[in-house]
């Protein structure tokens, strides 16, 4: 199964999705960046396969900027504010994640897509996380 999705910053090819994981190739055009965002449940690991990625982690004074080169990977846990930027050249990434592909809370966006204020989004995230914990306590899991 492969699904090509055009994005304002490039595209993504979803090449695997099943009950427990999803996998995509993301192509980010030079000079573009994804929204500053976080996920309430989704967990992902990225691997740079082409170009040099500027990865912004955190918000405001706590923001950290990392440059990831070909072969570098980074694990992003739920609630981690992050942004992928192609500041030097086109970038291609492999992303492997949990299956919640629509779990995106945008804090800021260069393309005018809907965003949430950080306090409102954190409050929503805590509520969803607490619901997940209760479900885990009730039904178990690993």
What pTM was estimated for this model as a whole? Answer: 0.79
Q: In Å, how far from its chain's centre is CA 51?
A: 18
pLDDT at site 118: 59
Collapsing DSSP to helix, strand or coil, 123 comes out as: helix
Average pLDDT over residues 63-83: 97
**What CATH number is attached to the domain comprising 108?**
2.60.120.10
The tens digit of pLDDT for each residue in 83-123 reads: 999 999 999 999 999 999 999 999 998 888 888 865 554 44
**Residues of the domain holding 43:** 3-139
Q: What's the structural domain count of the chain?
A: 1
């Amino acid at each position: 199964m492969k699904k090509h999705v055009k994005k304002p910053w490039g595209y993504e090819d979803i090449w695997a999705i099943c009950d427990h994981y999803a996998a995509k190739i993301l192509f980010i055009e030079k000079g573009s960046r994804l929204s500053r965002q976080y996920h309430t449940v989704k967990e992902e690991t990225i691997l740079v396969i082409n170009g040099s990625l500027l990865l912004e982690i955190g918000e405001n004074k706590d923001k950290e900027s990392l440059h990831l080169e070909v072969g570098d990977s980074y694990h992003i846990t739920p609630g981690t504010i992050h942004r992928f930027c192609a500041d030097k050249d086109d970038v291609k990434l492999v992303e492997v994640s949990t299956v919640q592909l629509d779990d995106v809370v945008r804090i800021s966006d260069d393309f005018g897509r809907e965003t949430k204020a950080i306090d409102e989004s954190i409050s929503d995230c805590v509520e969803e996380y607490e619901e997940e914990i209760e479900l885990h306590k009730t039904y178990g899991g690993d």
